[in-house]
A and B are shown apart, each in its own frame.
Chain A
Amino acid sequence: IAGITQAPTSQILAAGRRMTLRCTQDMRHNAMYWYRQDLGLGLRLIHYSNTAGTTGKGEVPDGYSVSRANTDDFPLTLASAVPSQTSVYFCASSDGPPGNEQFFGPGTRLTVL
């Protein structure tokens, strides 16, 4: 089934631990994004990638890193998790120029204690 998959679905993590959220799409979209969704704040862009091999910072990049080794995968890493990173994380992709309709993954609910 075409779309975006994210793993894990949910995770409880101790503060200070390293965590990688996985995102894979099979639509061959060039652009991929990571958002965090917090109550009352909507979705905020963490990092983006316009094409394989390139990445960039969004609105709230601090504490997160990404890589884009190929078209399909766009992992998000928290090097040393902090409680303020408790959130729901969505991966998205879009075809053509960045900003076209974005297709979203099912999300990862992360709790940092």
Chain B
Amino acid sequence: AQKITQTQPGMFVQEKEAVTLDCTYDTSDPSYGLFWYKQPSSGEMIFLIYQGSYDQQNATEGRYSLNFQKARKSANLVISASQLGDSAMYFCAMRGAVSGGYQKVTFGTGTKLQVIP
């Protein structure tokens, strides 16, 4: 079984500061991938960043970076220089091995980030 835990229901950050959104995971699969998605108030799901379990370096995409600590089973999202437009819900997700005919993707319950001017 695979599980994603996001322990921060909501967070505040001052504009232009960095913020870390926590994500821990549990899986018995040797190969897996970790994703972060952003969901603004308009409702759409926007892919942000991906980290494979065998990737040697932490993934980065512009102001987003994924702090991958395999031994701790954590995949925290770091947003540098926060902007007002970063206010949204953020979901951590994991894909694991094929189970029941598909490669299961499990989502966390999300963290609501609010950027303060």
Contacts and interface: CB of A to CB of B under 8 A. Distances in A.
Contacts of A92: 45
Given A40-B109, A43-B107, A56-B102, A101 B47 contact: yes
B105 A99 contact: yes
Contact of A42 (B96, B100, B107): B107
Contacts of B107: 35, 42-44
Nearest to B49: A101
Interface string A58-74: 10000000000000000
Interface residues of A, number: 27
A42 B102 contact: no
Interface residues of B, number: 25
Nearest to B100: A56
A102 interface: yes
Interface stretch (A18-26, A79-87, A103-111): A103-111
A40 to B, nearest CB: 6
B110 A42 contact: yes
Interface of B: 4, 33, 35, 37, 43-47, 50, 91, 93, 95-96, 98, 100-105, 107-110
A57 B100 contact: yes
B104 A43 contact: no
User: Chain A at the B interface: mostly helix, strand, loop or mixed?
Assistant: strand
Given A90-B45, A97-B103, 5 more contacts: A33-B105, A98-B98, A99-B33, A99-B95, A99-B102
Nearest to A103: B47
Contact of B50 (A33, A45, A101): A101
A48 interface: yes
A55 B109 CA distance: 26
A102 B110 contact: no
Given A42-B107, A43-B91, A56-B101, A88 B43 contact: yes
A2 interface: no
A58 B104 CA distance: 8
B102 A50 contact: yes
A70 B101 CA distance: 19
Given A42-B108, A42-B109, A42-B110, A102 B103 contact: no
